[in-house]
Amino acid sequence: MLKSKVVLIGISGGIAAYKVCEVISSLFQAGAEVRVILTETAQRFITPLTVSTLSRHQAYTDTEFWQGTHSRPLHIALGEEADLCLIAPLTANTLGKLTHGLADNLLTNTVLASGCPILLAPAMNTEMWEQPVVQRNWQQLRRNSRYHSIGPGSGLLACDRVGSGRMAEPREIITKLQSLAYTQGQQDFKGKRILISGGGTREHLDPVRFLGNPSTGKMALALAQAASDRGAIVTLVHGPIAPELRPIAPDYKLISVVSADQMEAVIMSHLVESDIIIMSAAVADVKPVNYTAHKLPKQELPIELKLEPVPDILGKLGSLKKVHQILIGFAAQTGDIVKPALDKLKRKNLDIIVANPIDQPEAGFGTNTNQAIFINANEQQKTIESCSKLELSHRLLDFVRTVRVNR
């Protein structure tokens, strides 16, 4: 999604500047062309040599700006060349300048000389971040459609304070940049309420043993991110997912559940308010009839495990959905993926089904990529070749737009 894109990175003076090195390296590996501007204070934390080595391109500072040795004004050339811009860390000082249109260095001049979407990743001490003047600047700047934000999150800061002000993690910043590269900041789902289920459910026999599946929740997290980046109000109801996959400062609401019964209760409580429901969760089909509240000794484990069906959440949603609501299901299949998906589409009264193979390389559970065939209620199909789960999510939202238009 970032291949051949020119990404301009502005680094201002904060300790979180060291995290940007990973962002630069990841962008280069993704095929982007990276240009980096360091403010004077940023150079006290990382050097131009470091970022030029990682980006494989000259790093720019105020020295080059004021020397004027380039054939064209440097801020004009950099601004016109950029497809995307990231400012990280965004300090209180740079935030104030951007909010009021001030331009006294290469970075702020380049921002004013460019027209591309700008992603802001603030980072500062909690007391600084919570100052009314800083919050006023932040809210004012975010009302400008050019600017998009990520974070800050909460956690242990370099000042040993635990609180808000922590810069988003590099992987989260990369994901946000990928969305911006795809949408160019378009908010075509603004105000729409999207309910998403994801991850696998666990049906416990006792506190440590359960029936489950390999779902990691990566697809649902990508769906939530894509929808949120396009302006939707997103609620993600998910089964257990690895802590390292959870964003530190998500733009959407996360609700954690374990079993199918718990997922059903939460989904149903949010159904009425939702415009679009995307059921990507790998919900268990059956559960043990008997649950024991203490760990069963090995010798007491049943030789034959009695099972009973879990609630058919998707089928229930199909019978309850209103005319204005769009219901989307997933069908993870081996072999022929279209025929069983079509059957599920009609049987569950869905508007769209996403048929995806789990027997193909780099597709299905636990992978970072996926492939699918989208099918709507009119049996129109769209094949999506292997791509990142985030790109597949955006393509699904594009497909949803065709359903909305044709209604």
What is the model's pLDDT at position 404? 64
**Domain 6-183 matches domain 193-406 at the CATH topology level:** yes
Q: Is 346 helix (H, G, I), strand (E, B) or coil?
A: helix
What is the model's pLDDT at position 64? 85
| Rounded average pLDDT over 78-106 | 96
| Distance, CA of 252 to CA of 273 (rounded, Å) | 15
Instruction: Give yes or no for residue 405 having a pLDDT over 60.
Output: no
Q: What are the C-alpha distances in Å from 246 to residues 12, 265, 370?
A: 27, 22, 20
Domain 193-406 CATH superfamily: CoaB-like (3.40.50.10300)
* Contact between residue 357 and residue 307 where contact means Cβ atoms under 8 Å apart: no
State both tokens at 380: 């129109």
If we measure between CA atoms, which residue out of 15, 19, 12, 70 comes closest to residue 37? Answer: 12
Q: Provide the residue ranges of all domains of the chain, joining segments of one domain with +.
A: 6-183, 193-406
What 8-state DSSP symbol labels residue 142? H
pLDDT in tens, 139-149: 999 999 999 99
Does residue 21 have an active-site annotation? Answer: no
Query: How many Cα atoms sit within 13 Å of 167 on the Cβ side?
Result: 30
Give 133's pLDDT tier (boundaries 50, 70, 90). very high
Phi, psi (degrees; rounded to nearest 5) at 183: -95, -20
Tokens 């635990």 locate to 162
Tokens 């599946």 locate to 213
Q: Is residue 221 within a helix (H) or strand (E), and if so which, with residue range?
A: helix 218-229
Among the listed residues 21, 85, 116, 159, the single catalytic one is 159
State both tokens at 90: 């965004």
Domain 6-183 CATH superfamily: Flavin prenyltransferase-like (3.40.50.1950)
| Rounded average pLDDT over 99-115 | 96
Phi, psi (degrees; rounded to nearest 5) at 290: -115, 135
